Amino acid sequence: MDGLEAMQTRLGYDVAAAKIVSDEMAQIKVGLDTVETNVRIADMSGRVLYANPALLKTIRRIEGVIRNHAPGFSTDSFVGSSIGQLYPDPAAALQRLAALTQITRTQMTIGGRIFDVVTSPIVSATGERLGSVGEWRDRTDELAAENEIQAIVAAAAEGDFSARLETEGKTGFFRDLSSGINNLMEGLAGSLDDLARVLNAIAKGDLTETITADYGGTFGQLKDDTNTTVERLREVVGQIKEASESINVAAQEISAGNSDLSART
């Protein structure tokens, strides 16, 4: 009787412990389900045990391209299938996962999307390899923005401020960044165009051109200095004209006096 009670007690503890573990796993799953990072978990054979909604959404977008090397692939049956299906060379991919002993970082391109992939081995408390967890970060938009920015900066360094970043199709940070850089380029182009216009007019002897657009900061100072320069040049030219007219009048008077003197003699 005592043995039966002991067994019941032990079973009760086991059930309670199992429930605690089950609850903890459920909480972990809920957490992974809500993160935006693409996450998957696979066992030692490469069979997918879990894929969060973010990853499934990503895979669904490139499903057609994956079928080029894995005919019959379906996002709906991804969990439970081999992780190797995502790779052009499944056998090599599974071999790398099986030999994984530390965190690895790689970059891969699937369906025109570029991913930074961080893969970590899952090891039990006793040191037994249980599988792997992979995090996929889609860097396609980020890398495209980097390339666009490099191109526009290179053009600006050569004096070309006409280039603009595409904003169509972009969202969030990348759209704001593109709009901000475009505004910067427009401000630079506008102020430099105004300055070039006034300097070109001065070079042709036209002192009627000034900068009228509103600018702040350094551009505002540039505007004020340019307009002040034009005004000073006008004053100098006016003074020269006045001096020239005075000299002309004096010359005429001298000429007239000489004529009178000649007539008298």
265 domain residue, yes or no: no
One domain for residues 89 and 185: no
One domain for residues 253 and 156: yes
Could you tell me the pLDDT band of residue 21, with boundaries at 50, 70 and 90?
very low
The DSSP bridge partners found for residue 253 are none
Q: Pick the range with the lowest mean pLDDT from 32-41, 74-83, 157-166.
A: 32-41
Domain finish residue from 138, 173, 193: 138
Number of domains in the chain: 3
Query: String of b and e for 115-125 (b: at least 16 CB within 10 Å)?
Result: bebbbebbeee
One domain for residues 79 and 11: no
DSSP 206-234: -------S---HHHHHHHHHHHHHHHHHH
Residue 249 has pLDDT above 80, yes or no: no
For residue range 105-136, list pLDDT tens digits in order. Answer: 999 888 788 999 999 999 988 889 999 999 99
126: domain CATH number? 3.30.450.20
Domain of residue 76: give its range. 37-138
